[in-house]
Amino acid sequence: MKKAWPIFFGIVVILVFSLYPIRYANSFCCLGVIVGGLQGALLVGRGEGIRLETTYAMRFGASIGLAAAVVMLGLNLLIGFWWNGDLIFDPVPQFLYTFFLRLIEGIIGIAGDAPQLTVNGGPGLWGRFLFQLPSNILFGGIGGAIASSLYKQQTTLFK
């Protein structure tokens, strides 16, 4: 149960950074996902009173990112039933989706006929989820690694 609260708070931080006006902060290397992974890993380190190993903190931050992507998908599916399919929680601004999708379409277009990957200028709900899975895992892990470097025990130079 000690690890459930840090995961919960990490997901809440990512969800807050996924709301409309705040989501533009994620243009800077998915800042909200990094902060969510960092928050969760720091809470685990402090709660268990352990020295955070980098690999452990990275895995913990990555699990927070994965869980946040799944929670966002579920919330967007539930909310989409009531509000005509509008996405409320989306950590990535629309222009980044468009940039990456146009880049992928251009690369596929060089190799052959490019399929149309966009729906109304951006990917649909499932396309966004498939984009969020690897990016949330990667940047959540980076947040955990930052937390491990911040939480290392201080050593004194002179005794």
For 102-156, how does the pLDDT look when each residue is reduced to its tens digit (9 = 90+)? Answer: 777 766 666 555 455 555 555 667 777 877 888 899 999 999 999 988 876 554 4
- Joined tokens for residue 29: 């290397």
In our burial notation (b when 16+ CB lie closer than 10 A, e otherwise), range 17-38 reads bbeeeebeebeeebbbbbbbbb
Structure tokens at 24: 């533009």
Side chain identity, residue 49: G
Query: How confident is the model at residue 146, as a pLDDT?
Result: 92
Residue 16, pLDDT above cutoff 70? yes
pLDDT tens, position by position, 49-87: 777 888 989 999 999 999 999 998 888 888 877 776 566
* Residue closest to 7 by CA, chosen among 46, 44, 49, 56: 44
Residue 159, pLDDT score: 47
Q: Which comes out higher in pLDDT, residue 38 or 51? A: 38
**Residue holding tokens 């919960």?**
8
